[in-house]
Amino acid sequence: AQKVTQAQTEISVVEKEDVTLDCVYETRDTTYYLFWYKQPPSGELVFLIRRNSFDEQNEISGRYSWNFQKSTSSFNFTITASQVVDSAVYFCALYSGGGADGLTFGKGTHLIIQP
Amino acid sequence: DAGITQSPRHKVTETGTPVTLRCHQTENHRYMYWYRQDPGHGLRLIHYSYGVKDTDKGEVSDGYSVSRSKTEDFLLTLESATSSQTSVYFCAISEIAGGTTDTQYFGPGTRLTVL
Protein backbone atom coordinates (compact mmCIF):
# COMPACT_ATOMS: atom_id res chain seq x y z
CA ALA A 1 0.00 0.00 0.00
CA GLN A 2 1.12 3.51 -0.72
CA LYS A 3 0.94 6.31 1.76
CA VAL A 4 2.05 9.93 2.01
CA THR A 5 2.23 11.65 5.38
CA GLN A 6 2.39 15.39 5.84
CA ALA A 7 2.48 15.65 9.59
CA GLN A 8 2.34 19.44 9.67
CA THR A 9 -1.30 20.42 9.30
CA GLU A 10 -0.64 24.14 9.52
CA ILE A 11 2.48 26.30 9.74
CA SER A 12 2.52 30.03 10.40
CA VAL A 13 5.67 32.12 9.98
CA VAL A 14 6.51 35.76 9.57
CA GLU A 15 7.51 36.99 6.15
CA LYS A 16 11.18 36.50 5.23
CA GLU A 17 11.58 33.50 7.48
CA ASP A 18 12.66 30.18 6.00
CA VAL A 19 10.18 27.34 6.31
CA THR A 20 10.39 23.61 5.61
CA LEU A 21 7.40 21.43 4.78
CA ASP A 22 7.85 17.76 5.58
CA CYS A 23 6.75 14.82 3.45
CA VAL A 24 7.26 11.15 4.31
CA TYR A 25 6.17 8.45 1.91
CA GLU A 26 5.67 4.69 1.91
CA THR A 27 5.81 2.39 -1.09
CA ARG A 28 7.03 -1.12 -1.87
CA ASP A 29 7.97 -0.21 -5.42
CA THR A 30 11.55 0.57 -6.36
CA THR A 31 10.46 2.90 -9.14
CA TYR A 32 8.28 5.77 -8.06
CA TYR A 33 7.76 9.48 -8.53
CA LEU A 34 7.24 12.23 -5.98
CA PHE A 35 5.50 15.52 -6.57
CA TRP A 36 4.72 18.77 -4.83
CA TYR A 37 1.68 20.84 -5.71
CA LYS A 38 0.62 24.26 -4.45
CA GLN A 39 -3.02 25.21 -3.88
CA PRO A 40 -3.37 28.96 -3.35
CA PRO A 41 -6.54 30.47 -1.84
CA SER A 42 -8.03 30.70 -5.34
CA GLY A 43 -8.26 26.89 -5.32
CA GLU A 44 -6.36 25.69 -8.36
CA LEU A 45 -3.61 23.08 -8.08
CA VAL A 46 -0.24 24.22 -9.36
CA PHE A 47 2.50 21.73 -10.15
CA LEU A 48 5.84 22.59 -8.53
CA ILE A 49 8.20 19.66 -8.98
CA ARG A 50 8.52 16.00 -9.92
CA ARG A 51 11.34 13.75 -8.78
CA ASN A 52 11.88 10.08 -9.68
CA SER A 53 13.23 7.49 -7.27
CA PHE A 54 16.54 7.15 -9.09
CA ASP A 55 17.42 10.80 -8.81
CA GLU A 56 18.33 11.84 -5.29
CA GLN A 57 19.85 15.12 -6.31
CA ASN A 58 18.43 18.03 -4.42
CA GLU A 59 16.87 20.73 -6.53
CA ILE A 60 16.74 24.48 -6.18
CA SER A 61 14.44 26.78 -8.07
CA GLY A 62 14.69 30.36 -6.95
CA ARG A 63 13.55 30.50 -3.33
CA TYR A 64 12.29 26.91 -3.46
CA SER A 65 14.40 23.85 -2.76
CA TRP A 66 13.66 20.17 -2.34
CA ASN A 67 15.56 17.58 -0.32
CA PHE A 68 14.95 13.97 -1.40
CA GLN A 69 16.33 11.30 0.92
CA LYS A 70 15.51 7.66 0.12
CA SER A 71 17.14 6.49 3.36
CA THR A 72 14.43 8.24 5.37
CA SER A 73 11.69 8.10 2.69
CA SER A 74 11.36 11.83 2.80
CA PHE A 75 10.92 14.55 0.21
CA ASN A 76 10.96 17.85 2.08
CA PHE A 77 10.27 21.27 0.60
CA THR A 78 11.96 24.46 1.83
CA ILE A 79 10.97 28.02 1.04
CA THR A 80 13.71 30.52 1.70
CA ALA A 81 12.86 34.12 2.59
CA SER A 82 9.13 33.41 2.54
CA GLN A 83 6.70 35.92 1.06
CA VAL A 84 3.00 36.51 1.64
CA VAL A 85 2.30 35.13 -1.84
CA ASP A 86 3.65 31.77 -0.66
CA SER A 87 0.59 31.39 1.57
CA ALA A 88 -1.21 28.29 0.31
CA VAL A 89 -1.89 24.65 0.98
CA TYR A 90 0.98 22.47 -0.23
CA PHE A 91 0.48 18.85 -1.18
CA CYS A 92 3.06 16.13 -1.50
CA ALA A 93 2.06 13.23 -3.78
CA LEU A 94 3.40 9.83 -4.77
CA TYR A 95 3.03 7.76 -7.92
CA SER A 96 4.39 4.22 -8.08
CA GLY A 97 2.15 2.51 -10.61
CA GLY A 98 1.63 -0.44 -8.31
CA GLY A 99 -2.11 0.07 -8.27
CA ALA A 100 -4.49 2.49 -9.94
CA ASP A 101 -2.68 4.92 -12.13
CA GLY A 102 -3.34 7.94 -10.00
CA LEU A 103 -1.45 9.95 -7.45
CA THR A 104 -1.56 9.26 -3.73
CA PHE A 105 -1.72 12.59 -1.94
CA GLY A 106 -0.82 13.64 1.55
CA LYS A 107 -3.42 15.62 3.45
CA GLY A 108 -1.63 18.87 2.81
CA THR A 109 0.12 21.53 4.88
CA HIS A 110 -1.53 24.93 5.17
CA LEU A 111 1.24 27.52 5.11
CA ILE A 112 0.44 30.99 6.40
CA ILE A 113 2.95 33.76 5.80
CA GLN A 114 2.24 36.76 7.98
CA PRO A 115 3.41 40.19 6.86
CA ASP B 1 -1.02 26.23 -18.47
CA ALA B 2 -2.49 22.92 -19.57
CA GLY B 3 -5.74 23.34 -21.50
CA ILE B 4 -8.19 21.79 -19.07
CA THR B 5 -11.66 23.07 -18.37
CA GLN B 6 -14.31 21.74 -16.04
CA SER B 7 -18.03 22.38 -16.15
CA PRO B 8 -19.95 23.41 -14.27
CA ARG B 9 -17.63 25.21 -11.87
CA HIS B 10 -20.25 25.30 -9.15
CA LYS B 11 -23.37 23.22 -8.66
CA VAL B 12 -25.95 22.84 -5.94
CA THR B 13 -28.26 19.88 -6.21
CA GLU B 14 -30.58 17.82 -4.07
CA THR B 15 -30.12 14.34 -2.68
CA GLY B 16 -31.20 11.66 -5.11
CA THR B 17 -30.75 13.64 -8.30
CA PRO B 18 -28.29 12.62 -11.03
CA VAL B 19 -25.33 14.88 -11.66
CA THR B 20 -22.76 14.87 -14.45
CA LEU B 21 -19.50 16.77 -14.34
CA ARG B 22 -17.50 17.34 -17.47
CA CYS B 23 -13.77 17.61 -18.00
CA HIS B 24 -12.50 18.84 -21.35
CA GLN B 25 -8.88 18.98 -22.49
CA THR B 26 -7.22 20.47 -25.54
CA GLU B 27 -3.83 18.78 -25.01
CA ASN B 28 -4.71 15.42 -26.64
CA HIS B 29 -3.34 13.61 -23.59
CA ARG B 30 -4.15 9.95 -23.26
CA TYR B 31 -4.73 9.77 -19.50
CA MET B 32 -7.46 11.53 -17.57
CA TYR B 33 -8.40 11.36 -13.91
CA TRP B 34 -11.12 12.41 -11.50
CA TYR B 35 -10.23 13.24 -7.89
CA ARG B 36 -12.25 14.58 -5.01
CA GLN B 37 -10.88 16.91 -2.36
CA ASP B 38 -12.29 16.93 1.14
CA PRO B 39 -11.02 18.63 4.29
CA GLY B 40 -8.62 16.38 6.15
CA HIS B 41 -8.28 13.94 3.25
CA GLY B 42 -6.23 15.67 0.61
CA LEU B 43 -7.16 14.48 -2.87
CA ARG B 44 -8.40 10.97 -3.55
CA LEU B 45 -8.70 9.22 -6.90
CA ILE B 46 -12.24 8.34 -8.01
CA HIS B 47 -11.78 6.95 -11.53
CA TYR B 48 -9.28 7.27 -14.31
CA SER B 49 -9.10 6.66 -18.03
CA TYR B 50 -6.20 5.37 -20.09
CA GLY B 51 -7.85 5.86 -23.46
CA VAL B 52 -11.16 6.24 -25.24
CA LYS B 53 -13.65 3.86 -23.64
CA ASP B 54 -10.93 2.55 -21.29
CA THR B 55 -11.58 3.37 -17.66
CA ASP B 56 -10.83 1.93 -14.25
CA LYS B 57 -11.70 2.50 -10.62
CA GLY B 58 -9.73 4.42 -8.08
CA GLU B 59 -9.72 4.50 -4.31
CA VAL B 60 -13.19 6.02 -3.78
CA SER B 61 -15.24 4.90 -6.79
CA ASP B 62 -18.44 3.79 -5.03
CA GLY B 63 -21.39 5.89 -6.16
CA TYR B 64 -19.62 7.23 -9.25
CA SER B 65 -19.42 6.20 -12.88
CA VAL B 66 -17.38 7.63 -15.74
CA SER B 67 -17.37 7.65 -19.50
CA ARG B 68 -14.93 8.67 -22.17
CA SER B 69 -16.22 8.60 -25.72
CA LYS B 70 -13.67 11.08 -27.06
CA THR B 71 -10.05 11.76 -26.19
CA GLU B 72 -10.85 15.28 -25.05
CA ASP B 73 -13.83 14.59 -22.76
CA PHE B 74 -14.09 12.66 -19.50
CA LEU B 75 -17.44 12.65 -17.73
CA LEU B 76 -18.08 11.89 -14.08
CA THR B 77 -21.63 10.90 -13.14
CA LEU B 78 -23.24 10.65 -9.77
CA GLU B 79 -26.29 8.49 -10.51
CA SER B 80 -28.08 9.49 -7.31
CA ALA B 81 -26.26 12.20 -5.41
CA THR B 82 -25.85 11.93 -1.64
CA SER B 83 -24.72 14.50 0.90
CA SER B 84 -21.47 12.57 1.37
CA GLN B 85 -20.60 13.46 -2.22
CA THR B 86 -20.47 17.15 -1.40
CA SER B 87 -16.90 17.95 -2.35
CA VAL B 88 -14.59 19.73 -4.73
CA TYR B 89 -13.93 17.63 -7.82
CA PHE B 90 -10.75 17.95 -9.82
CA CYS B 91 -9.96 16.57 -13.22
CA ALA B 92 -6.36 15.91 -14.20
CA ILE B 93 -4.55 14.86 -17.37
CA SER B 94 -1.20 13.31 -18.17
CA GLU B 95 0.51 11.91 -21.20
CA ILE B 96 2.19 8.83 -19.81
CA ALA B 97 1.29 6.46 -16.97
CA GLY B 98 1.79 2.89 -15.88
CA GLY B 99 5.40 2.25 -14.94
CA THR B 100 6.66 5.60 -16.08
CA THR B 101 4.78 8.75 -15.51
CA ASP B 102 4.46 12.24 -16.74
CA THR B 103 3.18 15.03 -14.58
CA GLN B 104 -0.53 15.29 -13.88
CA TYR B 105 -1.96 18.73 -14.54
CA PHE B 106 -5.20 19.72 -12.90
CA GLY B 107 -8.30 21.55 -14.01
CA PRO B 108 -9.78 24.43 -12.01
CA GLY B 109 -12.17 22.21 -10.02
CA THR B 110 -15.94 21.92 -9.58
CA ARG B 111 -17.53 22.68 -6.24
CA LEU B 112 -20.54 20.39 -5.76
CA THR B 113 -22.98 20.78 -2.91
CA VAL B 114 -25.62 18.10 -2.33
CA LEU B 115 -28.43 19.26 -0.06
pLDDT category at A68 given cuts 50, 70, 90 is very high
Q: Which residue has the higher pLDDT, B106 or B95?
A: B106
pLDDT at B40: 83
Best of B101, B110, B111, B112 to disrupt the A interface (most A CBs within 10 Å) is: B101
Nearest to A107 among B31, B42, B88 (CB): B42
pLDDT at B1: 58
pLDDT at B62: 96
**Predicted confidence (pLDDT) at residue A83 exceeds the cutoff of 60:** yes
pLDDT at B32: 93
Q: pLDDT tens digits for B17-59?
A: 999 999 999 998 989 999 999 988 889 999 999 899 999 999 9
DSSP string, B58-115: -TT-TTEEEEEEETTEEEEEESS--GGG-EEEEEEEES--SSS----EE---EEEEE-
Q: pLDDT tens digits for B97-111?
A: 555 567 899 999 999
* Closest residue on chain B to A106 (Cα): B42
* Closest residue on chain B to A48 (Cα): B103
Residue A82 C-alpha, separation from nearest chain B C-alpha, in angstroms: 24
pLDDT at B41: 86
**Stretch B72-83: mean pLDDT, rounded?**
97
pLDDT at A64: 95
DSSP string, A21-84: E--EEE-S-SS-EEEEEEE-TT---EEEEEEETT----EEETTEEEEEEGGGTEEEEEESS--G
Nearest to B40 among A44, A91, A107 (CB): A107
Strand A10-14 vs strand B19-25: parallel, antiparallel, or unpaired?
unpaired
Q: Of the given ranges (A47-56, B63-72, B84-93, B106-115), which has the lowest mean pLDDT?
A: A47-56
Q: pLDDT tens digits for A21-66?
A: 999 999 998 889 999 999 999 999 999 999 989 888 888 889 999 9
pLDDT at A60: 87
pLDDT at B98: 52
**Predicted confidence (pLDDT) at residue A97 exceeds the cutoff of 90:** no
Per CB-CB distance under 8 Å, the chain B contacts of A97 are 97-101
Which residue in A19, A10, A6 sits closest to A79, CA to CA? A19
H or E element that contains B54: strand B54-57
